[in-house]
Structure 1
Amino acid sequence: MQAVRIAGAGSTPFGVSSERTGRDLFGEAARIAIDDSGVPRADIDRLCYGNFVGTVTERQGHQGPLMAAAAGVTAPATRYESACASGGVALKSAAEAVRSGAVDVVLVGGMERMHNVTTERATEGLAMAADDLYESRAGVTFPGAYALMARAYFAEFGGTRADLAAVAVKNHRNALGNETAQFQREISPTDVLEAPTVADPLGLYDACPITDGASACVLVSESYAAAHDLNAPVEITGAGQGTDSLALQQRESLTRTPATTRAATTAYDEAEITPADIDLLEVHDCFTIAEVLALEGLRLYDPGAAIDAAAAGETTADGDLPVNLSGGLKAKGHPVGATGVSQVVELTKLLRGDHVNSDAVPDATVALAHNAGGTVASATVHVLEVCA
């Protein structure tokens, strides 16, 4: 078994890029990652690529070979789709290919472009991550679904909108200075609490934005890194994937995310760590309540205990467990197919010390990326560590 090193990482700016094509966006992210790695394109053995709604927003299927050409590589290329976890699933496949010894170098990335269509069309595409028969046809939207989860959480454990507002405020503050983040501005608790209601109890600032963008990483085997004298100090030591029922109505609880827990358990075991070993993490905060559920699903907090973590300063940049130092999906943005890879891009830079927020975690050696699809019907977890 080979150790998996991250030799290069990069993202486009996230935000509104309606004038650019998806292949253009991914080509830029791939170029940044490849240049960062120092790996010749001819050495790339495989491309693993995540995308969710490109068939809707760009009328483009069969994106694997298209994105290989955009990246300037001729390696076999495959598109992975698992809703908002598409990037995470592509990353897990890439890491497994290197770890198994099947390949030495993999380019992994993802892209989403949604501002070139109307908000209604983009929303229609994103809604395809829900159960069409039992949810979408009944009018359930993702803001509505996560609002149901938030209401169930408040009923079972307590909590307030102010607790959720603290999550949004924290993540916006973390995005300040992050040059690729969609929203690089602070917001106040009042901004969150007085924003228009999207689906009670969630308001406009409880939700992540629609985002265009792409991210990419170059993964290499430890033997390849040594043979080519690469500076690749971050290793993927654990990877896990979990699944749950697609429709909320078929789940035992609306306040638990077993797909996250299953993915985390596998990743922890593979990395030979416990939750207590984690120094920082990027979690899938598509809505503020999703960050709370992720922290509990990852077994970093007991059920019902993470609701006030941000308000208490535990998950802030200067807290004991910094969460979403990139700004998270909430402020960094959520280009769906790229999100799982973008989290690893951010963590790699944080661990290497070349991120705008690296000073907040100067001694960090263990990080975790959590990527979720839909209402966490799919989840991936990756553990990253600084090599000894």
Structure 2
Amino acid sequence: MPATIASGASTTYGDHAESSSRELFGEVALEALDSAGLTPTDLDAVYVGNFMGDLIEDQGHMGPLLADAIGAPETASVRFESACASGGATFRQAVLAIESGAADAVLAGGVELMSLADIEHVTDALANAADEMYENEQGLTFPGIYALMARRYMHEFDVSREDLAAVSVKNHANAVANPLAQFQRELTVEEVVESKPIATPLALYDACPVSDGASAVVVVSEAFAAARDLDPVASVLGTGQSSDALALHDRGSISRTPAAARAAQEAYREAGVTVDDVDVAEVHDCFTIAEVMALEALGAYDPGAGARGAVDGETAVDGSFPVNPSGGLLGKGHPVGATGIGQLVELTKQLRGVHPNQVTDAAVALAHNVGGSGASATVTILGGV
């Protein structure tokens, strides 16, 4: 049974320290349901993407907690955790439930509340997505891990700091027009390069911020949508998911993300499209180098050429392959468990023609969500309805 997205909603991304995960999730879940003309009792399941609830909020078992918070305490519920790909993994499980016939209506949401802790605690919590024995105990954090990936990539392909900085410049510029984005300020290449070093060669503006927020979509079968006279905002053309070794040293290359490449190929096959058919993409740019490697994993650029996308303007909103019109993780923010769902909310706006950074004639959209340094990845292809 084909799956469609009936509606979606998102909070702003940024500092919501005065709130809680149940309040943030409840806000977007009820907004999405109301937008679709549904109630919590119409749901067959509530799926929640969350990574750090038990590490930051001392709160686990979020599935039933958040189902209860939206008025669906008896509905089947579960939390999905796949590090920074938790949102994408949550959505894919909702789609599989619909396609298998096990459910007709699933709320797929994600939430993260990170600003309750100081930066050292957040960094330590995020490090749970790396290999504790071989990476964390040796002093590596994710800025350091992505710095290793960036340094190797720059060595292999003669890419400069300024080339990487162009990704941040593009995405921060896109964020200015997005009312949901955490940052509303444009940057220059010089400002990115000269910002505070965090792990050479990466500096502060090469990295996404600490963010709070929630996003949700209502996933329904085509039959359910027809029976309820719903007006879906997007069709799900294909999904893909893959994994890789957790630790960098166990991979064949640290300048590639093969899990994302495999997930993309699976999604393309299911959707019956190629990368050339994609009109707009939201990709996981937790660091500037991550967007570059994402573009190559998706097949949009050959190895070593991904940095040219931002430098040459090809990945701008009006470019030949628009990437992260939302501002991406760098500009919009990265509330880890919500990010993958938030990408889909942004893309449904593109397909409806109502995005603040609208890509002309967007009909096929792609979301790329990565966990850790590439050990897990999901890719989703959406189409208009």
TM-score between the two structures when normalised by the length of structure 2: 0.98
Which of 358, 378, 381 is the equivalent residue of 2:379?
381
The residue that corresponds to 1:212 in the other structure is 212
The residue that corresponds to 1:154 in the other structure is 154
* Correspondence list, 1:193-208, <5 A: 193-208=193-208
Return the letter of the residue paired with 2:236.
I
Which of 358, 364, 367 is the equivalent residue of 1:366?
364
* Correspondence list, 1:281-296, <5 A: 281-296=281-296
Other structure's SS at 1:286 match: coil
Displacement after TM superposition at 1:113 (Å): 0.4
Q: Is the 8 A contact 2:174 2:327 kept in 1?
A: yes
Counterpart CA distance in 2 for 1:49 and 1:131 is 24
Counterpart CA distance in 1 for 2:245 and 2:192 is 31
CA deviation map 1:61-85 (0-9, x unaligned): 1110001012222311000001000
Runs of 4 or more, structure 1, over 6 Å off, are: none
Q: Is the 8 A contact 2:176 2:186 kept in 1?
A: yes
The residue that corresponds to 2:330 in the other structure is 330
Q: Is the 8 A contact 1:281 1:324 kept in 2?
A: yes
Counterpart CA distance in 2 for 1:344 and 1:207 is 22
Q: Is the 8 A contact 2:43 2:105 kept in 1?
A: yes
Counterpart CA distance in 2 for 1:316 and 1:244 is 30
State yes or no: 1:277 paired with 2:282: no
CA deviation map 1:273-293 (0-9, x unaligned): 111110010000000000000
Counterpart CA distance in 2 for 1:112 and 1:85 is 12
Return the letter of the residue paired with 1:341.
I
The residue that corresponds to 2:36 in the other structure is 37
Distance 1:22 1:233, change over 3 A: closer
Counterpart CA distance in 1 for 2:70 and 2:249 is 42
Q: Is the 8 A contact 2:84 2:369 kept in 1?
A: yes
Counterpart CA distance in 2 for 1:64 and 1:277 is 36
Counterpart CA distance in 1 for 2:233 and 2:65 is 31
The residue that corresponds to 1:118 in the other structure is 118
State yes or no: 1:243 paired with 2:253: no
* RMSD (Å), alpha carbons: 0.9
Q: Which runs of 5+ in 1 are unaligned?
A: none
Counterpart CA distance in 2 for 1:116 and 1:265 is 38
Displacement after TM superposition at 1:347 (Å): 0.3
Counterpart CA distance in 1 for 2:66 and 2:188 is 40
Displacement after TM superposition at 1:307 (Å): 1.3
Return the letter of the residue paired with 2:164.
L
CA deviation map 1:90-134 (0-9, x unaligned): 100001101111111000011000111111111111010000000
Counterpart CA distance in 1 for 2:207 and 2:30 is 31
The 10-residue stretch of structure 1 (126-135 or 232-241) with the greater mean CA deviation from structure 2: 232-241
Counterpart CA distance in 2 for 1:59 and 1:5 is 34
Q: Is the 8 A contact 2:124 2:141 kept in 1?
A: no
Counterpart CA distance in 2 for 1:256 and 1:117 is 32
Distance 1:14 1:233, change over 3 A: closer
CA deviation map 1:305-345 (0-9, x unaligned): 11121010000011011100100000110000001100001
Q: Is the 8 A contact 2:48 2:80 kept in 1?
A: yes
Counterpart CA distance in 2 for 1:233 and 1:147 is 38
* Correspondence list, 1:1-388, <5 A: 2-74=1-73, 75-358=75-358, 361-387=359-385
Counterpart CA distance in 1 for 2:213 and 2:39 is 24
What percentage of residue pairs aligned between the two structures are identical?
55
Displacement after TM superposition at 1:3 (Å): 1.4
Return the letter of the residue paired with 2:260.
T
Counterpart CA distance in 1 for 2:356 and 2:229 is 26
Counterpart CA distance in 2 for 1:255 and 1:339 is 23
Counterpart CA distance in 1 for 2:138 and 2:175 is 36
The 10-residue stretch of structure 1 (184-193 or 84-93) with the greater mean CA deviation from structure 2: 184-193
Return the letter of the residue paired with 1:10.
A
CA deviation map 1:130-174 (0-9, x unaligned): 000000000011111101101111111111111111100100111
Q: Is the 8 A contact 2:104 2:220 kept in 1?
A: yes
Counterpart CA distance in 2 for 1:215 and 1:245 is 29
Counterpart CA distance in 2 for 1:217 and 1:57 is 25
The total of aligned residue pairs comes to 384
Q: Which runs of 5+ in 2 are unaligned?
A: none
The 10-residue stretch of structure 1 (203-212 or 33-42) with the greater mean CA deviation from structure 2: 33-42
The 10-residue stretch of structure 1 (27-36 or 4-13) with the greater mean CA deviation from structure 2: 27-36
Return the letter of the residue paired with 1:40.
T
Q: Is the 8 A contact 2:82 2:376 kept in 1?
A: yes
Return the letter of the residue paired with 1:9.
G
Counterpart CA distance in 1 for 2:208 and 2:53 is 19
Counterpart CA distance in 1 for 2:57 and 2:233 is 37
Other structure's SS at 2:306 match: coil
Return the letter of the residue paired with 2:54.
T
The 10-residue stretch of structure 1 (225-234 or 102-111) with the greater mean CA deviation from structure 2: 225-234
Counterpart CA distance in 2 for 1:132 and 1:193 is 31
Q: Is the 8 A contact 1:159 1:308 kept in 2?
A: no
